[in-house]
Structure 1
Amino acid sequence: MAKADLKSSITRILKIANISLYIIVIVFTGITSILSLYIAASDILKIIMNINSLTDINIINVLSALFLVVLTMELIDMFIIYMERGHIIVDMVIAIVLTAIARELLINYANIESMTLQRGIMLSAAILTLAISYWLVIKADSIKKT
């Protein structure tokens, strides 16, 4: 009997530790989201103040900062759903990574000089692999539901 009580106590402690760590991660991700929103807002204000010097690079920088806000919000959603369901939502993780790669492409487009053939091939391969993975996961979920 004491062994079962010890096991249940350890399990309870580990669950509390797990939830506590996820709450800390959600708070840090929320702070990161607020900071990235601040960066996007300050970039937009810089553009508005210097509308005469508006370039496509400025707009791409704002879009990159907004992508970062979206990524952090999606991460928070993913953590919350994980805590509710108790398992990782694979299609959501893949969608978040696809968004991160889209942001990376946007940044590289802004600084085209830093884009190498090897980096372009790697990004293209990553997008293709993730897109196929996302399609397979969605397809498997739809088959599972029928």
Structure 2
Amino acid sequence: MAKVVQLNLNHCAVAQDLLFQTLVEEKADIAIISEVYKDPNTANWVLDSKGTAAVWVSGRLHISNRAATHVSGFTWVEVSDMRIYSCYSPPSDDFEEFARLLENIGASARSSRLPVVIAGDFNAWATEWGSKKTNARGRALLELLQRLS
């Protein structure tokens, strides 16, 4: 079983440095990252077109496939017989932009023959994951996840 870390770096250089140190100390295999500080431009780092969502995979695992096109708001890798998505939707995106992002993620996930893991910072609230209330983004995300099973 792969050891996975998921976090939002808030475009912070120190947070990204600490992430890499933590990955080494914890012997993590995969990091799902939102609001990346900068692209380290390594083969085990896959970034979306905006440079805000990334997946890092340790050298212990082999990336068998990766997002072929650079779309905005999410990216994915296939590793250890699963497809792993990293997603980021800034709170400044209006609901229509958010809905388009979810449509694109859904279409991509449905094209996978492997089990799918979708994670990231959607800036969506839902009581299902501990928010005090559910907002429109949270409902839309819950509906997507339900359609994807």
Per the normalisation by structure 1, the TM-score is: 0.27
Larger Rg: 1
More strand per residue: 2
Ranked by relative contact order (alpha carbons within 8 Å, sequence separation 6 or more), the top structure is 1
Per the normalisation by structure 2, the TM-score is: 0.27
